[in-house]
Amino acid sequence: ARSLSMHFGARSPGIVPDIKLNDGDTIGGLTVIHTPGHTPGSICLWSEADKVLISGDTVFCDGAFGRYDFPGGSRQALAASLDRLEPLDVEGLYPGHGEPVDCGGKRHIAAAQQLMKGGYG
């Protein structure tokens, strides 16, 4: 697995994963959704019952999305990932950065999707 730590003046801790998660897997009651774009291995974790999405760096609560200019990142893949998240009935949105929201998460995903389609970035 590649690490982006060198881009930020750090060194990779060299941790080998215990398991690799695949799209559709369930872990801790959450469904894995593969959302490449920020990085090739980006995922979100979805609880349909609780309407909660842990979005990592795919989408943020301010209607923005993760960078895609790192090695392996892709604007097209990130746009497709946002399109994949759009139909989900998300209330709680918990990103990797910024403040989470407990309701209205779907609106933030839609805003990021529109920002992407509008050519931002």
2-44 tens-digit pLDDT = 555 455 566 667 778 888 999 999 999 999 999 999 999 999 9
For tokens 């933030």, what's the residue? Answer: 108
- Alpha-helical segments (H) within the chain: 75-85, 105-117
Looking at per-residue pLDDT, the higher value among 54 and 6 belongs to 54
Task: Work out the average pLDDT over 59-65.
Answer: 94
Mean pLDDT of 42-67: 96
Q: For position 15, what pLDDT does the model report?
A: 77
Kindly report the number of other CB atoms within 10 A of residue 30's CB atom: 19
* 8 part of a folded domain: no
| 120: pLDDT strictly greater than 90 | no
- Res 14: pLDDT: 73
pTM of the model: 0.86
For the chain, the average pLDDT equals 90
Residue where the block lists tokens 């779907």:
106
Domain assignment of residue 56, yes or no: yes
Q: Is residue 14 part of a domain?
A: no
Q: What domain range is 111 assigned to?
A: 22-117
CA–CA separation, 52 and 73 (whole Å): 25
The answer as to whether 55 is a domain residue is: yes
Q: Indicate the number of domains in the chain.
A: 1
35: three-class secondary structure by DSSP: coil
CATH code at position 74 = 3.60.15.10
The predicted pLDDT at position 16 comes to 81
